[in-house]
A = this chain, B = another copy of it.
Amino acid sequence: MQTLMVELDERSYPIHVGPGLIDRGDLYAPYIAGRQVMIVTNETVAALYLQRVKAQLGDYQLAETILPDGEQYKTIDCVEQIWDGLLAARFNRRATIIALGGGVIGDMAGFAAACYQRGIAFIQVPTTLLSQVDSSVGGKTGVNHPRGKNMIGAFWQPRAVIIDTATLESLPPRELSAGLAEVIKYGLIRDLEFLAWLEDNVEALRALDAQALTKAILRSCAVKAEIVAEDETEQGVRALLNLGHTFGHAIETDQGYGRWLHGEAVASGMMMAATLSARLNDLDAAALARVETLLRAAGLPVHAPEGMSSERFLELMRLDKKVLDAGLRLVLLDRLGQARVEANVDEALLVEMLNAYPRATLARQRDDSIG
């Protein structure tokens, strides 16, 4: 087991990473506030891991909320189910929520914790690569709205994050690849050395090599923690974490939640951001090719969805919350390993890039990648 401390003054917390950690009751105990524990999970994850987690918590008053599996259930209605469960169990403000599952479960359980009696403790037990490297750090919680992703939410920090790398063995390969999109992002925005390591190790990661996974997860969390520590409430440098996300959110909204995985949409979005950076002469052709090669090697799409027009991209991007009242803000690359926020993107250039950017169905791109 290796541990990374996320330093946030009185809200600092540990991220433990290693195989078999969900069976380590001693890792949960120090972070459970009172005697009441609510486990929030989904039907898929419950079948795999719920009993094992409960077996470690026999001394507590336990309750559970098992939600349906999928991004389309990341709604205020599901969060209300958690609140109803907490109140039905008569849990007080010293109760603790354990989020057992991927990012959707973590975001909803964290938001439920943030707002139950104005804030209770929660512990993250992320079981997908995406949530392990993305949701473990930053304190973002919330739900989607029919008009946009993550529109309702709060900043709320976990007391601890427990990452069991062995849970990735039950993860579909497609979701592992989606998680790798965020891992690659950390290399692209801030760490050229890590990016090069990923180019050498992407096959080992896809083959679930434990040592490679541990390094990739820890390094990803460390990069994110550095950035978040500099900017906890997302006024400045933290915006760099959104590389590919404005394009990606547009893809997800257009396609309907859950059709493209978040990581797949972000991968395609990062490729679009890199392409725009190349048009601005920040990236040369060789650098752009490295981005595409690595994304493809990770099993990720690099084209936009078939049939999604440039106009549709612009329409959806304008609603994105990273777009301020004036101008069009995007994260672009100065070079590999260094990103910047471009506050006033030239809309004509953006449209030109969007028009020229290749489209393909997701299925076709996945066939290419697997083949």
Residues on A close to B: CB < 8 A? 34-36, 76, 80, 83-84, 87-88, 90, 92-94, 111, 114-119, 140, 142, 145, 147-148, 150-155, 233-234, 318-319, 321, 323-325
Contacts and interface: CB of A to CB of B under 8 A. Distances in A.
A196 to B, nearest CB: 34
A250 to B, nearest CB: 15
B116 A152 contact: yes
B114 A154 contact: yes
Contact of A324 (B92, B116, B151, B325): B92
A148 B87 contact: yes
B115 A154 contact: yes
Given A76-B76, A92-B324, A325-B92, A87 B154 contact: no
A119 B321 contact: no
B87 A321 contact: no
A286 to B, nearest CB: 37
Contact of A119 (B35, B83, B154): B154
A21 to B, nearest CB: 27
Contacts of A140: 118
Contacts of A35: 325
A151 B80 contact: no
Most B CB contacts (10 A, CB to CB) among A35, A147, A233, A323 go to A147
B153 A118 contact: yes
Most B CB contacts (10 A, CB to CB) among A76, A111, A318 go to A76
B154 A154 contact: yes
B145 A90 contact: no
Nearest to A87: B147
Contact of A76 (B36, B80, B94, B117): B80
A325 B36 CA distance: 9
Nearest to A86: B151
For the complex of A and B, the 3 pairs showing the least CB-CB separation, nearest first, are A87-B147, A118-B153, A117-B321
A13 B211 CA distance: 51
A36 B117 CA distance: 30
Given A76-B76, A90-B319, A147-B87, A153 B115 contact: yes
